[in-house]
Amino acid sequence: MKKVIILTLLVGLSFSCSESFFDLKPQGRASLDQLSTKNGINALLIGAYSLLDGVGAGNTGRQSTISNYVFGGISSDDAVKGTDAGDQPEQSFIEQYNWLSDNTYFLGKWWHSYDGVARCNEVIQIVANVKDMTDAEKTQAIAEARFLRAHYHFEAKKMWNNVPFIDEKIYNRDDPNSTKIPNDKDIWPNIEADFDFAAKNLPVTQAQKGRATQWAAKSYLAKAYIFQKKWAAAKTLLEDVVKNSGKSLVANYHDNYRTVTNNNSESIFEVQFSVNDGTTGNNGNAGDNLNWPYSATAPGRGCCGFYQPSHNLVNAFKTENGLPMIGTAADGTLDTYNKVDLPSDQGIVAATAFTLDKTIPVDPRLDWTVGRRGVNFLDWGPMPGSTWIRDQAYAGPFTGKKWMYYLAEENSTTHSTSRRNVNNNYRLIKLSHVLLWLAECEVELGNLAAAEGYVNQIRVRAKTGSVQDPTVTYKVEPYPTGTFAGKGADYARNAVRMEQRLEFAMEGHRFFDLVRWGIAEKVLNKYAAEESVQGTEPSGRKFNKRSYMAGKVFASKNLYFPLPQDEILNSQKGGQPTLKQNPGY
C-alpha cells in the first residue's frame, strides 16, 4: 500500500508544473488528426454506409430498419403487425393510426436519420484537410457522402415532411446546439442538390459492392422528383438509366430476394448485409429479426411472428384473364379484388383437415411474397398453416417470405447463429423500380402507350419466370396492346399503381406511395373497414379478419407522422423549441 501512495505522489509531482497533463482528449473518439487521412476518410465513409441497414444509431434497430416494415408496411394495407395483441404495443398504435409523439419508434427513426446525416457531414468537413488524397479522390468521397446525406434526409422527409436539413456548414461536432435549427423550410431542393452533385461526380461502377454509383444517384434523384410530381425531369433521368446503365431485369422474379443472387444485374443500389464476418454486435438484417415464422420447424427456427401480410394484399394478387382486378375510377377505391377472399385456413386449426383450393388464378408473385398454408414455402415443403403462426385468430394465416432463406442454404454463410440475421441484401433501388417510375411519369405526361410498354416488361417477367408451386393455378398476362389508351388515363394510372404494389409488396414502400399519390385517406379507411369485418370465400365460408381495426380512422393528419416529442424538447434554444410539431398532433 505504501508503494502505491508513493508512486501516486511521484506521478503528481512530475506533472504538477505541466498544463498539458490536464489537456485530456475525449476517450473512445478519434481525433481530427487521426481522421484527416485517406484511411480516416474511408473509415468515416464506411461508418456512414453502415447505418443504411437501420441499425447502430443509439437504441435503434427495428424502429429504423431499411425495410421500413413498420412505417411503410404495417401502417398501410399491405400488412398487419402480426404476432399477438400484447407484443410491441408501439407497433399496434402505428398500425391502428393512433400516432402519439412519445412513441419510441418515431424517436428511433429520427435518431437514426440524423445520426446518418452527422456522419456524412463529418466526411465532408474533414476531407478538405486531408493531405494524402488527390482532388479527384476527395471529390468522390464528398459525392458518396452527399448521396448518403440525401438518403438519410429523404427518409426523414417522407416520414415527417417538415424536417430540418443539416449540412456541413451547420453541423459542428463540438457544439450540440449547432443543429438546433427550425423545420420551417421545404428541404426538397437540398436533397435534390445532394443527389445531383453525386450523379455528376460518382463513377458509373464501383470496385466495392454497395458503394453509390452515378446510376444510383440518378435513380434516387428521379425518385425525389417523382415525390414532387416533377414528371418530365424524372423521365429524363430514368430514361438515361434504362438506356445507358447496362442494367437488365433478371429472368426470375425471386432472384431479387435470394442471398445467392445478391448484387445481380437488376440491382442499382443495394444495402449490403453481412454475417459471421468477425465483427461483433448486430449484423445481417438485424432490424428485421422479429419478422419470421413462429415455429422452430420454419426458417429462422422460432420467433417472433411480426409483419404478416394482410388479406387485402393477398387478394390483390387475384387475376381475371391474367390481369389485375382494377377499374377506371380515379379515387383509389375502385378495385374489385377484395370483394371475395382467396381461400385460406383462417379459423381452421392446423390439426383440422384442410385442402387449399388452388384452382383460382393468381399472379405467381403472390407465392414468392406470401407464405400460405398448403403452398410450397421455398424448399421447406408446403407451409403447414397455423403451426407457423403465433396467433392466427389475431393476426391472420399468412407470413412474409421475401427475406427468408432456403432450407438448403441454412448454414453459416447465410445467417448468424440466431438464424434470423441473414445476409440477404435489401434491394433499395432496382431496375424494376425505374421501369415502373417511368410508367408513372408517362401516364402523368399523357403517353399511355409508353406507360403500358413499361408495365408489360414487368408483367412478362412475372409470366415467364419460375413459379413457387406448380400445383397452383398461376395466370398473369401483359396488357393487350392499346388497353391503356382505350380505357383512359385513370385506368392506366391505377394499373401502374397496382403493378407497383404487386411487384414491391412487403418491401416497405406502400404507405409512402399512397401518401404521394394523394389517395392514402380513402384507401386506408376503406381497408380498415373491410379488414375489420368477416371475410367471405368463393365457397361461401365466412371467417373473422382483424376485428381490432373496427372503427379505426385514418385522418388527414396521418399523412405524416408526429415529430418525436423528446426531439422538440431537446431543440430548445433560449428557452424556446426550434422544432415545430406537425399539424394535428
Are 379 and 396 in the same domain? yes
Alpha helices (H) in 300-381, listed in sequence order: 311-316, 366-369
Are 442 and 460 in the same domain? yes
Q: Which three cell numbers stand for residue 343?
A: 381461400
Q: Tell me if 196 is assigned to some domain.
A: yes
Burial class (CB in 10 A: 0-12, 13-18, 19+), 107: buried
For the entire predicted model, the pTM comes to 0.93
**Most distant CA pair in the chain: distance in Å?**
97
* Cis bond upstream, residue 304 (ω within 30): yes
Cα separation, 225 vs 417, in Å, equals 42
Are 485 and 572 in the same domain? no
Q: Which three cell numbers stand for residue 295?
A: 415455429
- Dihedral class, residue 254 (left if φ above 0, else alpha if ψ from -120 to 50, else beta): alpha
Q: Tell me if 404 is assigned to some domain.
A: yes
The phi and psi torsions of 297 (rounded to 5 degrees) equal -95, 5
Are 423 and 567 in the same domain? no
| Confidence at residue 5, expressed as pLDDT on a 0 to 100 scale | 27
Q: Tell me if 357 is assigned to some domain.
A: yes
Q: Tell me if 41 is assigned to some domain.
A: yes
Q: Which domain holds residue 52?
A: 32-202+562-577
Angle formed by the axes of helices 431-444 and 231-244, nearest 10°: 140
Q: How far is CA 438 from CA 96, 323, 431, 503, in A?
A: 33, 20, 10, 15
Q: Tell me if 515 is assigned to some domain.
A: yes
What sign does the CA torsion over 150, 151, 155, 156 have? Answer: negative
Each of the 585 residues of the chain gets a pLDDT tens digit; together they read 333 322 232 233 333 344 443 444 555 556 777 789 999 999 999 999 999 998 887 766 678 899 999 999 999 999 999 999 999 999 999 999 999 999 999 999 999 999 999 999 999 999 999 999 999 999 999 999 999 999 999 999 999 999 999 999 999 999 999 999 999 999 999 999 999 999 999 999 999 999 999 999 999 999 999 999 999 999 999 999 999 999 999 999 999 999 999 999 999 999 999 888 877 666 788 889 999 999 999 999 999 999 999 999 999 999 999 999 997 766 655 678 999 999 999 998 777 789 999 999 999 999 999 999 999 999 999 999 889 999 999 999 999 999 999 999 888 778 887 888 899 999 999 999 999 999 999 999 999 999 999 999 999 999 999 999 999 999 999 999 999 999 999 999 999 999 999 999 999 999 999 999 999 999 999 999 999 999 999 999 999 999 999 999 999 999 999 999 999 999 999 999 999 999 999
Are 570 and 549 in the same domain? no
| Confidence at residue 56, expressed as pLDDT on a 0 to 100 scale | 82
| Confidence at residue 67, expressed as pLDDT on a 0 to 100 scale | 95
Are 472 and 566 in the same domain? no
- Please enumerate in sequence order all residues whose Cβ is within 8 A of that of 559, keeping only pairs 6 or more positions apart, or say none: 161, 515, 520, 521
Q: Tell me if 107 is assigned to some domain.
A: yes
Q: Which three cell numbers stand for residue 423?
A: 445476409
Q: E-strand spans in 195-301?
A: 267-271
Are 388 and 520 in the same domain? yes
CATH number of the domain where residue 174 is located: 1.25.40.390
Are 549 and 567 in the same domain? no
Nearest to 370 by CA among 34, 362, 475: 362
Are 509 and 572 in the same domain? no
| Confidence at residue 3, expressed as pLDDT on a 0 to 100 scale | 32
CA 293 to chain centre: 20
Are 457 and 571 in the same domain? no
Number of domains in the chain: 2
Are 392 and 463 in the same domain? yes
Q: Tell me if 268 is assigned to some domain.
A: no
| Confidence at residue 60, expressed as pLDDT on a 0 to 100 scale | 66
Burial class (CB in 10 A: 0-12, 13-18, 19+), 566: middle
Q: Tell me if 265 is assigned to some domain.
A: no
Are 461 and 484 in the same domain? yes
| Confidence at residue 11, expressed as pLDDT on a 0 to 100 scale | 31
